[in-house]
Amino acid sequence: MWRQVLDDVIRKTVSGFAERLAAFGPNLLAMVLILLVGVLAAGTVRLLLRLTLPWLGFDRFAHRVGLSAALEKGGIARAPSRVLATATAWTVLALFVLLAVGALNLQFAMDLLTRTFSYLPQILIAGALLVLGFLVSGFFERSVLIAAVNAGLPPARLLAGVVRTALLVLFVAMALEHLGVGRQVVLVSFAILFGGVVLTLALAFGLAGRHVARDLLERLTRKREPSGEKELRHL
């Protein structure tokens, strides 16, 4: 009798496992297939980008906007086109991994997939904001630096650095706000930081640089008087 019971239990267990394996097998196979396709797609994307980006002048553009210099500062000595190709390939692979997990048709996997895809637009927008912030802040930093040098303002580099930092902080705050990371904390921190910087600069200019401020205002309001002498004309 015990033997029959044991046979039944083992048979049921084995047959149940076989049934579950038969039901789950195609999903597993699909996952493996999706992963393989993902690896292939990522490799292809990487190869294509490594070939086309330099041809399209991406490295030159990156050099021009200061991306190369930023990568070098971050310890990445590779060409920006290679960095972008690798990053894109990893992103493609990550997407395929998510799809592969989804193919298992497990509840937690489906939840993970749904949450990830619903959050993806925010991640993309935040990433775009960071890239835009990097480009915009670099552009304005250079513009302020050149204008300040041409105007003969001694703290040209300081001014340019302040402008770049302020813009970067602004864009990072916008990106974090978009991701919903500590929304209130980011907003309040930014307001306090920005207000503090402006107040500090105003006080510094008003107290330490009041003579400079007075001279500047006088120069702005004074009418140009003819000197009697001819001045150098550039054109």
Give the binding site for other proteins (CB under 8 A): 60, 63-64, 69, 139, 142-143, 145-150, 152, 154, 156-157, 224, 227, 229-235
Smallest gap from Cβ 127 to other proteins, in A, equals: 24
Nearer to other proteins, 133 or 138 (CB): 138
**What span, in angstroms and rounded, lies between the C-alpha atoms of 103 and 200?**
57
Smallest gap from Cβ 116 to other proteins, in A, equals: 38
Question: DSSP of 103-160, one letter per residue?
Answer: HT--HHHHHHHHHHHHHHHHHHHHHHHHHHHHHHHHHHHHHHHHHHHHTT-TTHHHHH
**What span, in angstroms and rounded, lies between the C-alpha atoms of 138 and 66?**
7
Smallest gap from Cβ 144 to other proteins, in A, equals: 11
Nearer to other proteins, 38 or 133 (CB): 133
Helix, strand, or coil (residue 99): helix
**What span, in angstroms and rounded, lies between the C-alpha atoms of 82 and 78?**
7
Nearer to other proteins, 96 or 134 (CB): 134
**What span, in angstroms and rounded, lies between the C-alpha atoms of 30 and 34?**
6
Angle among Cα 205, 206, 212 to the nearest 5 degrees reads 65
Smallest gap from Cβ 156 to other proteins, in A, equals: 5
Smallest gap from Cβ 153 to other proteins, in A, equals: 8
Nearer to other proteins, 140 or 190 (CB): 140
Nearer to other proteins, 139 or 194 (CB): 139
Nearest in space to 50 (alpha carbons), one of 92, 91, 83, 24: 83
Contact 46, 85 (CB under 8 A): yes
Instruction: Enter the DSSP assignment of 76.
Output: -
Smallest gap from Cβ 161 to other proteins, in A, equals: 11
Q: Which tokens sit at 98? A: 């998510």
Nearer to other proteins, 69 or 128 (CB): 69
